Structure 1
């Protein structure tokens, strides 16, 4: 049986239909969900862009807008525009299309390696992964309390092992600091290219980030009176990164209001090197019953 990591890697091997036209699919176990996971669309869009870029340059930043919910039942078409091929920078624009309409558009920039000055903020001091329970362990402990329609999603094999520090209790949420730390890595080692590691990080970077804005209000995404969705997403890659080694994803939410929240994240290696940063605005809407 194919493991969850292999399934995700296969998902990111987008199919080339034409020179700059690609097709991506959604896993069968996600077909029954309301919309495609945003991290999947970003990762497949980045994988499509990488297929048109020279091997001597890596993505250093991407900026994406979610325009419509993705339909899990049909493939996603990714159209790549070769905006610019310069001496040291390459720029690409990617449009994801379903039912003849855009569901995401993304700009990404790629850069050759250059030496330069180097500084960074220090990584926060937190508990180590070995001191924490994984999501799989927590799901097993709480499976009797998880709604039946959510149980399969909570307990199915995942491509990433994630260990939260000071997680919100989904069944008795209480207000907490918006600062949100998660250790993460793929469930097994992977022998893949640097671009594919970037695609894996793009996929997982959409997990937990919006959740930072729910914490001060004692909210969890299981709350039936809450509607959440990613509106846009940005990633900056600062240094080489491996998705199969422990990474600390430190997130916070400086502001929420007007039905939206602003969230940001920093990704560190276990030895404290800042390798990526993220930012996202999310929908944080109160649901009211129609009269």
Structure 2
């Protein structure tokens, strides 16, 4: 995928019955389905069943089995409740009649209320920073094969880390990371697609932050990594065409699991969403 329109086409599911949808897959360089894809498609599926004007304000999901890239994913949506202000939905994602993922989500209409937020951290501006694409063009042929394969994948998102680390230098890093991102191309702002796209992007970079403090001994070649659960809260609407900042920290890793949390800010400093994720970080023998 090289343009945001291709990601939108991936998120937009085929509706088979009232609450059953079918989705296709796109690889991002990993052997199984990218978790952000399943989350984004699940939000789209659930959003089709809620009253008009209600949009996802939070979700919590669990990854049960690795998704097979060669098999379609079927989403079964269940209505839990439609209240005066909120709706609750649950969705199961299946392949070959096995549940690979499930999610519960809350939907709310637009309301006014109290308003406060954390300030956006002070980081280098995206202008002048190198993107993943630019780094790949400069470093291809000099990187380990696994890293070069990851960076060579064409994506509909531009990522610009505020600090560039040497991927072959083995030293401990701080458990923090900040990445600017922007979609490639432009699209109309739509609350459903905006939330789906932000969810897709939120599964990039977050778990790797939990690997930073162990970067002197741990890397993708000797560590089994997989998302276990992922949650997200949406606070404010955004312009999906603008640059945004994903600020991530990892408070803990233990028991072969890593935990990370992050905030997504607009370029002007508005807090758009918060994310948490726990994932498997199992050293290989």
Q: Bin the TM-score by the shorter chain.
A: over 0.9
Aligned length: 285
Cross-structure match for 1:7: 6
Q: Which moved more, 1:278-287 or 1:53-62?
A: 53-62
Matches of 1:12 and 1:144, distance apart in 2: 34
User: Is 2:182 the partner of 1:185?
Assistant: yes
Q: Which moved more, 1:119-128 or 1:221-230?
A: 221-230
Q: Is contact 1:33–1:72 with CA below 8 Å preserved after alignment?
A: no
Cross-structure match for 1:18: 17
Matches of 1:9 and 1:221, distance apart in 2: 35
Q: Cα distance, 1:114 vs. partner?
A: 1.2
Q: Is contact 2:7–2:156 with CA below 8 Å preserved after alignment?
A: yes
1:252 to 240, 249, 274: 249
User: Is 2:117 the partner of 1:125?
Assistant: no
Q: Is contact 2:180–2:246 with CA below 8 Å preserved after alignment?
A: yes
1:147-206 deviation line (CA, Å, top 9, x unaligned)? 446645422321111100223322214211111100011012212411101100010000
Q: Is contact 1:63–1:235 with CA below 8 Å preserved after alignment?
A: yes
Q: Cα distance, 1:31 vs. partner?
A: 9.0
Q: Cα distance, 1:64 vs. partner?
A: 0.4
1:62-113 deviation line (CA, Å, top 9, x unaligned)? 0000000000001000000011111110100010001211110000100011
1:220-277 deviation line (CA, Å, top 9, x unaligned)? 9853111111100000000002332111100000010110011000011111111100
Matches of 1:274 and 1:144, distance apart in 2: 39
Matches of 1:180 and 1:15, distance apart in 2: 36
Q: Is contact 1:4–1:157 with CA below 8 Å preserved after alignment?
A: no
Q: Is contact 2:218–2:283 with CA below 8 Å preserved after alignment?
A: no
Q: Which moved more, 1:68-77 or 1:210-219?
A: 210-219
Q: What stretches of structure 1 of length at least 5 have no aligned partner?
A: none
Helix, strand or coil at the partner of 2:227:
strand
Helix, strand or coil at the partner of 2:133:
helix
The equivalences for 1:1-291 within 5 A come to 3-27=2-26, 30=27, 33-148=30-145, 151-218=148-215, 223-288=220-285
Q: Is contact 1:32–1:72 with CA below 8 Å preserved after alignment?
A: no
Q: What stretches of structure 2 of length at least 5 have no aligned partner?
A: none
Q: Cα distance, 1:279 vs. partner?
A: 0.4
CA RMSD of aligned residues (A): 1.8
So what's the TM-score if we normalise by structure 2? Answer: 0.95
Q: Is contact 2:29–2:149 with CA below 8 Å preserved after alignment?
A: no
Helix, strand or coil at the partner of 1:131:
coil
Matches of 1:193 and 1:56, distance apart in 2: 11
- The verdict on how the C-alpha distance between 1:218 and 1:148 changes in structure 2, with shifts beyond 3 A counting, is closer
Matches of 2:221 and 2:93, distance apart in 1: 29
Matches of 1:139 and 1:43, distance apart in 2: 27
- The verdict on how the C-alpha distance between 1:79 and 1:206 changes in structure 2, with shifts beyond 3 A counting, is same
